[in-house]
Amino acid sequence: MKIKVLLADDQADLAEGIKSVLETDAALEVVGIAADGFEALEMMEKTAVDVVLMDIRMPNMNGVVATQRIKATYPSVKVVVLTTFDDSDYILNAINHGASGYLLKDSSAAAIIDAIKNAHAGDTILPAKIAQRIAAAATTVANDREIKIKRAFGFSDREVEIALMMFEGFTNRQISAALKLGEGTTRNYISAIYEKTGCENRTGAIEAIKAVL
């Protein structure tokens, strides 16, 4: 069965070019092209979609808001965001709203096809340059607030970094990808965070961290 892909991009020529690229792969089927987030949601009401390839900057409804709406209504649909280097804030917001991955707009045809297939399989797509951006942003957040939670819980530097990423809404997989850690290692750090905050789960730990920030 083919992977059904919806493209959302206000640049019609670019979208048509991407459609042509995707249609070279027999495993993919482009079911529509939307000019903004509103149109993408309207199309999804009428057409089955597995993966949305989402431009992040669009009129009327941008890719971040559209991602949030799609994941709320169609949680099984994967969203892969198209981005540029100066979209750090958008990237972090899209992560928090459930995006499965990110592609740079200058990605090769093979990279775009692979990203869609990998997202459909449940993987997180983070090109190295974007992962560096996310890690840098997380480090900036940590630098502002790390002293408070270090004093409160006695976290190590890495635990501080991960605790703040948890607080910002990152999943275990996204933390692992951004910090280049194995998922088992990330889980071990999070278990230590639970123990030091005196909590049994993620929700409790986040509330404990929130209380001291």
Query: Domain span at residue 142?
Result: 131-212
Question: For residue 168, which of 140, 201, 126 has the smallest C-alpha distance?
Answer: 140
88 lies in the same domain as 7 = yes
pLDDT the model gives residue 168: 84
119 lies in the same domain as 140 = no
Provide the number of structural domains found in the chain.
Answer: 2
Exposure letters 22-45 (e unless 16+ CB within 10 A, then b): beebeebebbbbbbbbbbbbebbe
Give mean pLDDT, residues 130-136: 68
Q: What would the pLDDT profile of 35-48 be if each residue is shown by its tens digit?
A: 999 999 999 999 99
79 lies in the same domain as 116 = yes
CB-CB neighbours of 207 under 10 Å: 13
Give the torsion through C-alpha atoms of 16, 22, 27, 29, to 10 deg.
Answer: -10
Reply yes or no on whether the pLDDT at 161 is more than 80. yes
pLDDT, greater one: 96 or 76: 76
45 lies in the same domain as 103 = yes
| φ, ψ of residue 171 in degrees (nearest 5) | -80, 170
Reply yes or no on whether the pLDDT at 110 is more than 60. yes
Residue 140 tokens, joined: 């900036």
Q: Considering the entire predicted model, what is its pTM?
A: 0.64
Angle (CA) 24-30-32 rounded to 5° is: 145
161 lies in the same domain as 104 = no
pLDDT the model gives residue 148: 85
pLDDT bracket for residue 105 (50, 70, 90): confident
As a whole number, the mean pLDDT across the chain is 88
Q: What would the pLDDT profile of 173-206 be if each residue is shown by its tens digit?
A: 989 988 889 999 999 999 999 999 999 999 999 9
11 lies in the same domain as 106 = yes
**Residue 166's domain is classified under what CATH number?**
1.10.10.10
CA-to-CA distance for 12 and 36, rounded, in angstroms? 11
